[in-house]
Amino acid sequence: MSLSRRLLDILNFLALIAMLIAVYMALIEAPDAINVDPAIRPAQRIIYFHVPSAWSSMLAFFVAFIASILYLITKRVRWDIWARSASELGIAFTIAAIISGSMWAKPAWNTYWTWDPRLTTYTIVLLLYIAYFMLRGAIDEPSRRARLAAVYGIFAFLSVPLTFMSIRWWNTIHPVIVDNPENPNKFGLGPNMRITFMFTNIAFLILFVTLLANRISLGWAEERLDALKEKLNF
Label residue 180 left, alpha or beta by phi (over 0 means left) and psi (-120 to 50 means alpha): beta
Report, in this order, helix, strand and coil percent for the chain, each rounded to 5: 80, 0, 20
3-state secondary structure at position 187: strand
191-231 vs 47-74: helix axis angle to the nearest 10? 40
Q: What span, in angstroms and rounded, lies between the C-alpha atoms of 23 and 8?
A: 22
Q: State the CB neighbour count (10 A cutoff) for residue 119.
A: 20
Q: What span, in angstroms and rounded, lies between the C-alpha atoms of 70 and 155?
A: 14
Per CB under 8 A, which of residues 42..71 are in contact with another protein? 42-43, 45-46, 49-50, 53
Closer by beta carbon to another protein, 76 or else 229: 229
Closer by beta carbon to another protein, 107 or else 190: 107
Closer by beta carbon to another protein, 115 or else 234: 234
Q: How far is the CB of 35 from another protein (least distance, A)?
A: 18
- Interface with another protein (CB under 8 A), residue total 35
Among 99, 165, 173, 198, binds another protein (CB under 8 A): 99
CB under 8 A: which stretch of 29-37, 41-49, 75-83, 138-146 binds another protein? 41-49
Q: What span, in angstroms and rounded, lies between the C-alpha atoms of 32 and 67?
A: 41
Is 179 a residue that touches another protein (CB under 8 A)? no
Per CB under 8 A, which of residues 106..165 are in contact with another protein? 106-107
CB under 8 A: which stretch of 72-80, 99-107, 177-185, 187-195 binds another protein? 99-107
Report which of 6, 17, 45 is spatially closest to residue 207, judged by C-alpha positions. 17
Binding site for another protein (CB under 8 A): 23, 27, 42-43, 45-46, 49-50, 53, 88-89, 92, 95-96, 99-100, 103-104, 106-107, 207, 211, 214-215, 217-218, 221-222, 224-225, 228-229, 231-232, 234
